[in-house]
Structures are given as structure tokens and as C-alpha cells.
Chain A
């Protein structure tokens, strides 16, 4: 189609042609069509002006020049736009490895501990931390384990050669002389300073003077829980722990409570879950019993309440203790507890961020 020859028609046609431009090549074609020295629409317009009445020529010339500038400007803008959105030439091998920003992992025992904390946190438990270097009173005596009590043999203890200042360096009537064998001391401290209702868990590292082997470490991580109020029963203990264990492991696991002995609870129980590896049918992990021992618990012994000044007639409560290491060994099938303390990145990096 030959270019139009009057100014308005040229402008309209140019606008339409410009719309169609998608490449440098289109752009050149449009430029040639309108601004070409010989064939261009404007050149033709200029020539046609020669036949116009002389009086009209200046105005026509002015209008033609204005149109030329408009077209030049529009073409220049279009070129810029085309350049900016031009795609780069050549591809890359997208299968080459990317640059990885290093990221670390929380320790598996921290992950488990945080899961336990969040489940109990959702059940309204306050999370406490206490000192690792404890005094005999809070670790043993207040928990119904007077000196020379045979039950102390159940928790072989590390002692300091001389007392250390108590938690945070405060002087205490009970000099800190040992590494806590459980986090129960924190429960005593809490009850000494708070009235019921009590809903707490106390996670932390504890120490037992056990020779390290596949399932024993002289230091390990424990979470203990305590609930005290009026009218708390062993049925509540069962209900709460089953809720926790099913939330932690699997909603389908079965839970078994079996009589046991701890000096600070009466009645006492050991809690088992149906083996998570064989679904209770029997395998090497559960030693063919179908059950895995998971925690110890019981109703708080009245002597413990008396030690902290609670009325055992009015208040009842329960306590439990859970070995985080043991849970981690079971849940993730790690076969040697000592691996947790080697901090071997080949193990740590298998766990989520």
C-alpha cells in the first residue's frame, strides 16, 4: 500500500505502522517508508507541496516539518524500548550447580526438644530452665531421697571437689555441689516460689556417671514436666501423656502404662509406646516385645509437696521425665547416642534446618 500523501493521513498511517513494530528490522522499514529520502512519505509530501498555492506553502512546510520531528521522536523512543526489552543472546547450562548460600542446622536434640516444648507449650505449660550445677537438697533430698537412700544408686552422680556459687552466682543456704542428675531440682525451685496451679516443663542437659556406650552418655538431655492443682488424677496423667506421645510420634500409636518405682512419685509408672518400627509386631529394636520404653512418670509423692510447703491433702499432681536422646535415637533410628555429642556434620546435616 503506498503511503498516503496528506499530513493527517500520514500521521494516522504512521501511528498504525508503529504499533506493529516488534524488531529493529520493522523499525527500519517504517523509517524508510516515512522518512526515506527518495521513497519516503514525507519526501513525497514535500514534492507535492510544490504544486500547492504559494500562499499556503509556508504553513504546509511548517506542518510537514513538525510531522517529521514527531515521527523521528516516536521512532527514537521505539528504538529505546526495543533495546531495553531485547533478549540476551545465547543460553546457559541450567543444569550446572548453583552457588549455595551455606546454611547450618539446629542440633537434632534441639529439634526434638523444641518439638516437645511446642506440644506442651500449646497445652499451657510454662517452659523453665535451671542450673546444671545443683545442690544436694534440690536434686535429692526435697525429692524424697534423703542421704544414704538406695534409690540414689539409680542416679550415679558427679560431685564437685568444692562447692560452687549457686545459680547465677547467688549465695545459697544449699551449696551447689553436684551435677544435676535430672531437671527435677527446677521443679522444686518453682514450687518453692509459686503456688498452684503449676504447669511447667523443664528441659536441659543432665549428668549421670555412666560409662558411655551405645545407649548411655554421661551427659544427656532431658525434659521433665510437672502439673499440680486441686483434683489432678492419674487419669489426667495418662490423658496428657497419651496426647503428647500421639502428637509427637503418630496419632495411631498405642501407649501402655506399667507400675514402676521412683522415690518422688507414688504411684509411679513407666510408659511404653507401640514400637514405631514394627508397629508392635516385634522387631530387633523393641527386642521382639512390640513396645518401646519412652518415659517415666507418676503422681507427685506427698513428701515432695511437704518439702515445698504444699498441702498434699488439698493438692495432687503428676510429674514425668523424658530422655530427649532416647526419643531422638528411636525417632530417627540413630544407633549410638555418642554420635550426638561428636557433632559430626555428616549426621547433623541429615536433619532439617
Chain B
């Protein structure tokens, strides 16, 4: 809302320092501190907007003028006007309001009253409609009037339309003018649109109306979309001789719905949908008639016809003085409270024999935001100044409740993974449909947005991987080669709803290029190793089984299992990302990317809560190395299972320390070297004992896997 200071000064006295003009910056600061943020103070030429200025463009002795660019919050439609701001300014400075001059109807002038009907069923959409005639001579507005509109960023059109806009800016009430001769007779019908009815609005667009929309019609057809925009057919033009001035009160929700439905937002709809003043219409018409007469643009004819079937009872709110202090933390002098409310247009009446005082406060109809005691307390606080309130610290009355287990879990995940060289990413919750489908094949299960910003965010992510891979590629395309990223976040699908997940992605070197030796490229086992570390951090053991997933390379994909205590769960998948997927996301080059995604619900802290330490071994261990030749497709985990089953409790660890294919090894076979470590808790094992167990292991390997000892 842009307001010219000189216009404001017409409605309220601004204090002027001795010999110095009003300090406009100070005024702006005071308004800002009362909830009307002045975004900018624009200096404005003083002469043109002054109706009484006789001086040339250079101006006479007028004080400097300026435009205040005010931010008006949605709860204060009354301040979308010079009058509303003037009322606030008057409260700030303790100066009186001057209401603009209104046309006094001549009660004897009963010429040609127009007929206004509001369908009974539609009174809820239009509780009040006022109309009146003015004989006009359409032409340009006087310079001062046009200049004031321009200062408010409203384009001058002609004197009649300009006056309706002027009144809207001044009093805050939207108006409309119809060309009487272009209506089907002197009659206004307020009704819902008929099925199939259309209207060409002032912007020249033919619009389809719907039966919930309220229109202003003549005897034949819709001439305006109520509260939103007038129709082109009855638009005021240079040949217009008589106008019907409209000032009405329309239901805020109905105007809002209609505006949204037909895709129109106007200065009028903006005010109506926030709430206009139901008592303003007649005053607005009187003001417009006065202005038209004053500027020689027209002569009012006949009475104002006011259809207002059921005026609402005034809202009265009790305000208890002690409650002000109760909410604000400081007592505000009663001598401040009542006068402040009065200046703002409220009518506070002291209830008899109340101590501390209680007021019965009548709320003015333009204050659509006030209906409860707290609303009044805010008015008092606003004008007293938030900076005058003390600062206190509320003492806890109960010990803090611990936060949910998710917090410790997410914290531990971050700790473990940053320790493994992974940096945390945060990516959007919505992604493109295509990568979502590539990972989560069930299209029905994917959650789609009704109003995405673009196709790039069409669906809620069923997996964190598309976003994380995009971030990896973003880095890869910016000369970064070694990338390790993870993300903790929600994923979404119709079947499971919203669930927490963890995703990891890595590419580049696992062992960085260094002067002391060669680098080594990342492979799957770097990532599975990280998952082992992660699970260990949660007190569990990660195991891997061959697996499949649409977005991962077959044969380089594993299902990740987590064993905690005796329970085993499927935690997720890990594997090499399908190069086709990476390529489709924009990865150039042939870098292998390894990814994993885990269900975070299965990682729970607390595995260590009941930890009982086992004694530190007191006797030495003995190791035995075996080299066996086995089928190269035999999973290592099977070999381990066999060894473990055969070795018994003395075996404390198995480590595969070499894997060799080539000369000396049969086609389709592999040489696997394994180090077995044995230890007993109660004595030093003898060579004979260990040899006997090792022989058992070798026999079992031969029996189960046709393993040959090398």
C-alpha cells in the first residue's frame, strides 16, 4: 500500500516541530514499530498532488512530500487506506482524525431511484448493497487527483473511474460505476450466476461463470463479477451520461473462491476477501458523489438506495485490565488503555464497580480482525511498544522430557559416516517421476504432487538415492573426483507412508593419490565395509547376500542384513549403480558409482544399554593359514559358514587374506587364503588340538564345497 504523506496529512494532523517540517522518516519508524512496516520512503514532488496548490511545478511553501510504501498484514484490511493509516497515526501522536467531506443527500430529491434487489438466498454472499445515480460529464481528472492515484500506483483512466479508485484508496472501500444507459434499465439484481452464463470483464476476457459465483446483473445479464471485476458491456466511457455507483459488502470467502476460480485478483477482491467494512458503503457513495461534484465531473441525482436486510449486532468484547498484565508480563496503566482504544475507533465502556477495571469494548465494523480479548490486548501492546515490555525467563516447573530415540540414532549415523569420510547432503523431498520409477517400480505406490513447481519435483521421493546421486553428479561435474555423500531423511510411498531412510553414494578413489604409493579406485567392498562399520556402531553385525535391484548392476548387488543379538532383519541394498541410471541423471564418463539405501527404522540405539563386558582373553591365540581352491562362484559367506560349523567354539576369527585366479588355478576356480585364529578362554591351546580342528575344517570344506587344499 503506497500512501502519499500529504494525503495522510489531510485526514490527520501530523506534529510539526518548531519551524521544521514533519520528520517523515520518524513517522515511518513509528508506523513500522506498530506493525506497519514501511519498506521505503520515496521522496515525491510536493506540488502536483495538492488540490489547493496554485504554484507551478516547483511548488510554493508546501512541506516536502513523500510516498510511504507500507506492508499491510492480511489481518488489517482497514489499513489498506489512507483513513486506516491516519487512524493509526492519530493514535501514535494523539491527534484527531478529520473525516473527508461527504455529500449530503437532499431528502427532497427522490428522482428516479434505482431498483436494487438481492435474492434472498444470496444475502449471505451480499449482506449489503448500496447504489446511487450521478449524472456525469466524463473527462480527465484534475491534475491533483490523478497525481494522487499515480503516487499509489493506480493508473488514472477518467474522472468517474478515478473517483471510485480514489475513494477506495482513501476510505478503503472498493466501488464500481456502471454506465446506466448500457444497463437494461435502472435496475440492479444481485444474484448467483446462471448455468452457462458468461461475462466479458473489464480486462476484455470472456469468462465462464459458475453457479456459486455472485454477479451484479441488470434485468437481463451479469454486468459484474461481484467484488472482483466489472463487466466491459457497462463500462464507463466518454459517452456515458449517467452512472450507477455501487458500494457493497461481499462475503470474503465467496469473493476469494470466485477470484481463485476465475483466476482474477484485483484491488477490490484483495480488500473484500480480507474483509471490508459493512458500515462503509453509504459513506463511500457519499464521498464519491461529493468528489464528483467538487471536481465538476457530475451531479448526484436522487437518493442512495441501500439494501441492508439484517445489520449484524455490534461485537462487544470484555477487556479485563488484569488480563493485560497477565499476558504481557507488565501492567499497563488503565489511563493508557482506554484512550488508545478510543483513538483506534473502539468504544471502551468501563463496567461499573470493577477494580481492577473491566471494559466493555465495542469493536468498530472496520476492525474485522478483533473478536476476542487477546486481540484488544495486542492493540494495547502494539501502541505501548513491545520494547517497553520487560524480559523475564520462565522457570521450568517440570524436568525436561528426553527427546525421542530418532535423535540419538540420527546423531550416531552422522558421527559414524562422517568418520568414514562421507559428507552429509540434504536434498529435496520431491523429485522427477522417472528416477523414482527406476528405483520404486510400483507406479501406483508413488506419491504424486497435485501442484508441483515443475516436472523436476513431480513426485515425493520413494528413495533418497535419486537426489543423492544428483548431488554426487553435481560435484563430479565440477572437477571433483572422489565423492562420498550420505543423506538421512524421509522417503514416501502410499503403502508405507513416510519412513526414515539413509542413503550413501561414493565414487572415485578409495585410497587417495599420494606420493608414497598408487591410488586405488573405490569398489563395492569399500561401501560394504562402511556398512559393516555402521552396523557395528549400532551394536549389530552386517552381512551381505547376493541380491537384485532395478537400479543396480546385476552381480554387483547385495542385500544388507543386520543381526543384533539373535534377530536378523533386512536393512536395505548396496551395489554398483547401473551406469544407465547414472548416465540418465547426467553423469559423463564411466566412473563407477556405488550406492546403498537402508531402512533407518531398523537401526536403533540402545544395543549397548545392557552391555556386559566379556573377560579380556588371558591365553594366547594360535593362527593357521589355509589356501583352498574352490569354485569361483561359491560365495565366501558359504565357506565361512562351513568353517564356523566345523571348527567349534575355539575358532575366534576368520579372515580371507588373499584371493587369486590365474596360473596354477583350474579354469572356473579360485584360490582363497584364509587365516583362522583359535583361542580358548581357560588355557593355552596345544598345537595338536589346533591341528585336529584345522583338519576337521579342511575335511568339511572338501565335503561341502569340493575344496582342494593347496
Residues of A within 8 A of B (CB): 96-97, 99-107, 109-110, 121, 123-129, 131-133, 148, 150-151, 153-154, 158-162, 164-170, 176, 179, 197, 199, 205, 207, 209, 211, 218-219, 221, 227, 229, 231-236, 238-240, 242-243, 256-261, 263, 266-269, 299, 301-302, 316, 340-346, 348-349, 353
B615 contacts chain A at the CB level, 8 A cutoff: no
Contact B478 A235 (CB under 8 A): no
- B363-383: CB near A (< 8 Å → 1, else 0) gives 000000000101101100110
Contacts of B104 in A (CB 8 A): none
Q: Which 6 A-B pairs have the closest CB atoms?
A: A235-B329, A233-B329, A102-B421, A259-B35, A261-B73, A267-B378
Q: Which residue of B lies closest to A158 (CB)?
A: B449
B396 contacts chain A at the CB level, 8 A cutoff: yes
Contact B394 A238 (CB under 8 A): no
Total number of A-B contacts with CB less than 8 angstroms?
A: 263
Contacts of B75 in A (CB 8 A): 151, 261, 263
Total interface residues on B, CB under 8 Å, equals: 93
Interface pairs (12), CB distance under 8 Å: A102-B484, A132-B498, A150-B74, A159-B451, A164-B497, A164-B498, A234-B329, A258-B33, A259-B33, A266-B377, A267-B381, A343-B426
Contact B400 A341 (CB under 8 A): no
Contact A107 B394 (CB under 8 A): no
Contact A229 B394 (CB under 8 A): yes
B422 contacts chain A at the CB level, 8 A cutoff: yes
Q: Which residue of B lies closest to A165 (CB)?
A: B497
Cβ contact of A345, chosen from B273, B452, B480, B494, cutoff 8 A: B480
Contacts of B378 in A (CB 8 A): 259, 266-268
A179 to B327, CA, bound (A): 33
A80 CB to closest chain B CB, in angstroms? 23
Contact B391 A104 (CB under 8 A): no
Cβ contact of B391, chosen from A231, A238, A299, cutoff 8 A: A238
Contact B428 A131 (CB under 8 A): no
Contact A160 B391 (CB under 8 A): no
B496 contacts chain A at the CB level, 8 A cutoff: yes
B457 contacts chain A at the CB level, 8 A cutoff: yes
- B388-404: CB near A (< 8 Å → 1, else 0) gives 01111110111111111
B206 contacts chain A at the CB level, 8 A cutoff: no
Cβ contact of B34, chosen from A100, A235, A259, cutoff 8 A: A259
B367 CB to closest chain A CB, in angstroms? 13
Contact A105 B460 (CB under 8 A): no
Cβ contact of B74, chosen from A154, A235, A257, A345, cutoff 8 A: A154
Segment from B157-165, B509-517, B576-584, B624-632 that makes contact with A: B509-517
A243 to B391, CA, bound (A): 10
Contact A133 B498 (CB under 8 A): yes
Q: Which residue of B lies closest to A219 (CB)?
A: B428
Contact B396 A199 (CB under 8 A): yes
Q: Max chain B CB contacts within 10 Å: which of A169, A176, A221?
A: A169
Q: Which residue of A lies closest to B424 (CB)?
A: A107
Q: Which residue of B lies closest to A111 (CB)?
A: B424
Tell whether A343 pairs with B330 under 8 Å between CB atoms, given A132-B498, A164-B492, A209-B451.
no
Tell whether A159 pairs with B425 under 8 Å between CB atoms, given A239-B392, A261-B75, A343-B471.
no
A240 to B76, CA, bound (A): 29
10 more CB-based (< 8 A) A-B contacts, given A176-B497, A179-B430: A105-B424, A124-B400, A179-B460, A199-B400, A205-B429, A218-B430, A258-B35, A261-B73, A340-B426, A348-B424
Contacts of B421 in A (CB 8 A): 101-104
Q: Which residue of A lies closest to B390 (CB)?
A: A235
B417 CB to closest chain A CB, in angstroms? 6
A307 CB to closest chain B CB, in angstroms? 14
Cβ contact of A168, chosen from B74, B326, B381, B498, cutoff 8 A: B498
Contacts of A209 in B (CB 8 A): 451, 453
Contact B494 A239 (CB under 8 A): no
Contacts of A101 in B (CB 8 A): 421
Contacts of A99 in B (CB 8 A): 512, 514, 516
Contacts of A127 in B (CB 8 A): 403-404, 407
Contacts of A348 in B (CB 8 A): 423-425
Q: Which residue of A lies closest to B494 (CB)?
A: A164
Contacts of A263 in B (CB 8 A): 75
A159 to B393, CA, bound (A): 40
B65 CB to closest chain A CB, in angstroms? 22
Q: Max chain A CB contacts within 10 Å: which of B423, B482, B484?
A: B423
- B487-509: CB near A (< 8 Å → 1, else 0) gives 00110101111110000000000
Contact B389 A238 (CB under 8 A): yes
Contact B429 A132 (CB under 8 A): yes
B485 contacts chain A at the CB level, 8 A cutoff: yes
A295 CB to closest chain B CB, in angstroms? 14
B448 CB to closest chain A CB, in angstroms? 4
B450 contacts chain A at the CB level, 8 A cutoff: yes
B416 CB to closest chain A CB, in angstroms? 10
B414 contacts chain A at the CB level, 8 A cutoff: yes
A316 to B326, CA, bound (A): 9
Contact B497 A169 (CB under 8 A): yes
Cβ contact of A100, chosen from B423, B496, B499, B512, cutoff 8 A: B512
Contact B73 A169 (CB under 8 A): no
B419 contacts chain A at the CB level, 8 A cutoff: yes
A284 to B577, CA, bound (A): 46
A218 to B419, CA, bound (A): 31
Contacts of B189 in A (CB 8 A): none
Cβ contact of A197, chosen from B330, B382, B397, B419, cutoff 8 A: B397
Contact A104 B418 (CB under 8 A): yes
Which residues of chain B (453-482) have a CB below 8 Å from chain A? Answer: 453, 457, 460, 471, 474-475, 478, 480, 482
B2 contacts chain A at the CB level, 8 A cutoff: no
Contacts of A257 in B (CB 8 A): 386-387, 389
Contact B426 A243 (CB under 8 A): no
Contacts of B480 in A (CB 8 A): 345-346
